[in-house]
Amino acid sequence: MPISTDFTSILLKDWEINFLQCYPNGYLKYTDLCNVLQLTAGVHAEMGGISFSDMQWHHQAWVLSRMRVEIKRLPKWRDVVTVKTWINSLENSRSVRCLELYVGNEKIVGCETFWAVFNTNTRRPESLALPHEHFEKFPNDRATVSSFSKIDTSSDLDLVFQKQILLSDLDVVNHANSVKYLEWCLDYVETQLVLSQRLESFEMNYLKEVSLNETVSINKSSADSPMLFTITTATKTCFALQLNWS
């Protein structure tokens, strides 16, 4: 698609929180928070001509590699939130995108994401084939206090569940959607802890894609903060999650 006439290097996008996105307490689910952030990134990429549809001409797609989210509080049902996003860096096969979520003038969420360009035929990373010079980069502007990091998965974790990847887990890149990993793990956190809004930040590392009919193990640490999860196949760690509670 051509670059939108409304394209700007910094996007502000409004979303209204609906009841399907909320926990029973009326506050936005952490999974749907990630969906709203990623949908905003997708809108910005589409306006700038580097969306999934544009990249598929070269058999490419953006895949999420790391994500850090810092939360002051969660928005609630019927809130209109504004997500602000910009590109911190983009070169070769890698890009760092920043996002902030506001209610009115109050910033309540900051997020930093690390994306890789992925060939959907070879399933390997490669340099972005599309021009992106029209995107101004903002290397000195960050959305989080701390940057994303490599999560240490060397500690002992206990198996809590095994799951087969189903069609409902897949996205347009034909692998388990990134938010699904978070959903699977949060299902094994004590309910009142999730609803308490004590989650100050969380970080996710995506290490290997998982596909339809694969069986994965969900593993959890015994410590509460930070609370660690991994998702593994028989031979590899595919995903790591760190939950930081107050």
Residue 188: phi and psi, rounded to 5, are -110, 25
User: Considering its fold, how many domains does the chain have in total?
Assistant: 2
**From CA 120, how far away is CA 115, in angstroms rounded?**
15
Q: What share of the chain is helix, strand, coil (3-state, %, to 5)?
A: 20, 40, 40
Kindly tell me the sign of the dihedral angle through the C-alpha atoms of 190, 196, 200, 205. positive
Q: Which domain holds residue 216?
A: 149-246
Contact in structure between 165 and 209 (CB atoms under 8 Å): no
CATH number of domain containing 191? 3.10.129.10
Asked if 138 and 221 sit in the same domain, the reply is no
Burial profile 212-239: b = 16 or more Cβ within 10 angstroms, e = fewer: eebebbbbbbeeeebbbbbbbeeeebbb
**From CA 105, how far away is CA 11, in angstroms rounded?**
16
Asked if 4 and 72 sit in the same domain, the reply is yes
Residue 56: phi and psi, rounded to 5, are -65, -20
Asked if 162 and 228 sit in the same domain, the reply is yes
Asked if 183 and 113 sit in the same domain, the reply is no
120, 148, 176 — which closes off a domain?
Answer: 148
Tens digits of residue pLDDT in 204-222: 999 999 999 999 999 999 8
Asked if 244 and 221 sit in the same domain, the reply is yes
Q: Of all helices (H) and strands (E), which one includes residue 28?
A: none
127, 148, 169 — which closes off a domain?
Answer: 148
Contact in structure between 239 and 205 (CB atoms under 8 Å): yes
Q: Of all helices (H) and strands (E), which one includes residue 23?
A: none
101, 125, 148 — which closes off a domain?
Answer: 148
Asked if 88 and 162 sit in the same domain, the reply is no
Asked if 155 and 144 sit in the same domain, the reply is no
**From CA 77, how far away is CA 22, in angstroms rounded?**
7
Tens digits of residue pLDDT in 91-109: 999 999 999 999 999 999 9
Asked if 90 and 191 sit in the same domain, the reply is no
pLDDT tens series, the chain, 246 aa: 689 999 999 999 999 999 999 999 999 999 999 999 999 999 999 999 999 999 999 999 999 999 999 999 999 999 999 999 999 999 999 999 999 999 999 999 999 999 999 999 999 999 999 999 999 999 999 999 999 999 998 888 999 999 999 999 999 999 999 999 999 999 999 999 999 999 999 999 999 999 999 999 999 998 888 999 999 998 899 999 999 999
Asked if 26 and 122 sit in the same domain, the reply is yes
Asked if 167 and 82 sit in the same domain, the reply is no
Task: For residue 1, give the nearest of 130, 165, 172 by alpha carbon.
Answer: 130
Asked if 103 and 168 sit in the same domain, the reply is no
Asked if 59 and 100 sit in the same domain, the reply is yes
Alpha-carbon distances of 111 from 33, 72, 108, 171, rounded to whole Å: 10, 12, 10, 22
